[in-house]
Amino acid sequence: MHTYVAGERNRFAQQLFRPLPQRYDRLAEALSMGQNGRWRRAMIDRIVPTSPATVLDVASGTAGVALQLSKRTSADIVGVDLTMEMLAQGRHNIAAAGQRNRVQLVAGRGEQLPFPDRTFDALTFTYLLRYVDDPQETLSELARVVKPGGAAASLEFFMPPNRFWRFMWWLYTRLLLPVAGLLTGGREWFRVGRFLGPNISGHYRKYPLSWTEEAWRQAGFEHVGVRVMSLGGGLVMWGTRRDD
């Protein structure tokens, strides 16, 4: 077992997500203009055909992805997240869905997973890489616990490549999102709404898509693919664990 050592960014993520769980599922859907569920399905579409017996879902939060995985595969699923409050809501959601025998949640960090090498048949992670200090190292850590030949898929926010849509996206994330967050979820969601746009732009300035694709390969994945969703608002990526 690894020691649990949270860094500055981990603490920031915990503070950001701590007040969100109760309204998370509804507001994540509303603030992504109904796209989050569609993006999630597109990500899970990459896992389903591989018929895994075990799946690890990192940054599992309130277990939305984990529960979709349990519905669409016959796998046993382990979700990992570092915010206890998100995990508590996730456990509630799992119990309400009658999936306690299939989905288990564990406290942990994507940077330092509490599992031996090559444990899982498949891997998913959502909205994780913007919250870690070193995305390349985290990708390698994620790859470490996947069996050779296992499928991996991820979902992230992205920025529209087209200039017109990027400008609309900029207006949406800088103006509408904070206001919509405030009106629907109060002060905590205003904070999230104000944080997201600049955080997404800053992330891709430092780690453009071409960098991220190469980082997946460096981490040990092959057949790396990318699908830009909703004009560029979302990004689904996938790959297969190489046998190194």
Ligand X SMILES: C[S@@+](CC[C@H](N)C(=O)[O-])C[C@H]1O[C@@H](n2cnc3c(N)ncnc32)[C@H](O)[C@@H]1O
Residues that bind ligand X (CB under 6 A): 10, 13, 17, 28, 58-62, 64-65, 80-83, 86, 109-111, 126-128, 131-132
Nearer to ligand X, 65 or 151 (CB): 65
Radius of gyration of the chain (CA): 17
Q: Sort residue 71 into left (φ over 0), alpha (ψ -120 to 50) or beta.
A: alpha
Closest residue by Cα to residue 115 from 106, 124, 102 = 106
CB of 19 to ligand X, least distance (A): 12
Residue type (1 letter), 57: D
Does residue 60 contact residue 90 with C-beta atoms inside 8 Å?
yes
Q: Which residue's CB is nearer to ligand X, number 64 or number 220?
A: 64
CB-neighbour burial class of residue 91 (10 A; exposed 0-12, middle 13-18, buried 19+): middle
Q: Taking the complex as a whole, how short is the minimal distance between the CB of residue 226 and ligand X, in angstroms?
A: 18
- Measured from the CB atom, the residue of 31 and 151 that comes closer to ligand X is 31
Category of 104 on φ-ψ map: left (φ > 0), alpha (ψ -120 to 50) or beta: beta
Q: How far is the CB of 132 from ligand X (least distance, A)?
A: 5
Taking CB atoms, the residue at the shortest distance from ligand X is 61
Nearer to ligand X, 163 or 206 (CB): 206
Min dist CB 164 to ligand X, Å, is 27
Cβ-based nearer residue to ligand X, 93 or 240? 93
Q: How far is the CB of 2 from ligand X (least distance, A)?
A: 12
In terms of CB distance, is 29 or 242 closer to ligand X?
29
Q: Minimum CB separation from ligand X for residue 84, in Å?
A: 9
Cα 158 vs. chain centroid, distance in angstroms?
12
Would you list the DSSP string of 149-178?
EEEEEEEEE---SSHHHHHHHHHIIIIIHH
